[in-house]
Amino acid sequence: LIAGFGTAAMVAAEQLEGDADHGRALAALLLDELASRQVRFSMVTADRNVVPGGLSIRIDGVDADHLCAALADKVQLSTGSACTSGQLRTSHVLEAMGFSMKSAAEVVRAFCHRYLEADDIRSAAAHIAAAVRQSAVATGEGLQ
């Protein structure tokens, strides 16, 4: 088992840079695809260092929990870290960053990794955009 773990660690180390570049490229593609579909969002992390492929975005006027539930069988999104799952209060991290309860409730997280390809990202963006439009219709948010 120790030798197997060592070999797995060597393989992971060899692929680390390529995986990071791939994740960053897919994350950028997801943002571009959402923008091209007129999804109003802002980056939570802005230009800060993040895990390559990791995204935290605020989608204006959309309840993140409802969005995640609506997309659960199509797109893997979350509203917080594993250590905060099941909690009803606002993320202490978003709170410390100055987010109000309302704006923190509009934040979703996604992770673009080695097992995803550009077509997966385009499909995810299409599903997210459709769910955001549906949410806007249901709540009247963003409708003129």
Q: What is the mean pLDDT of residues 62-70?
A: 92
Can you tell me the mean pLDDT for 93-99?
76
- Residue 35 scores a pLDDT above 80: yes
pLDDT at 52: 93
The model's pTM is 0.83
Output the average pLDDT for the chain.
87
Give the strand pairing for 54-59 and 41-43: antiparallel
What per-residue confidence (pLDDT) applies to 87?
Answer: 54
| pLDDT tens-place string over residues 116-131 | 999 999 999 999 999 9
Distance from C-alpha of 37 to C-alpha of 128, rounded to nearest angstrom: 10
111 confidence band (pLDDT: 50, 70, 90) = very high
Residue owning tokens 């959309």: 62
pLDDT digits (tens, 9 = 90+) for 67-82: 999 999 999 999 865 4
Catalytic residue status for 68: no
Catalytic residue among 83, 88, 96, 143: 83
DSSP state of 111: E
Nearest to 114 by CA among 27, 55, 33: 27
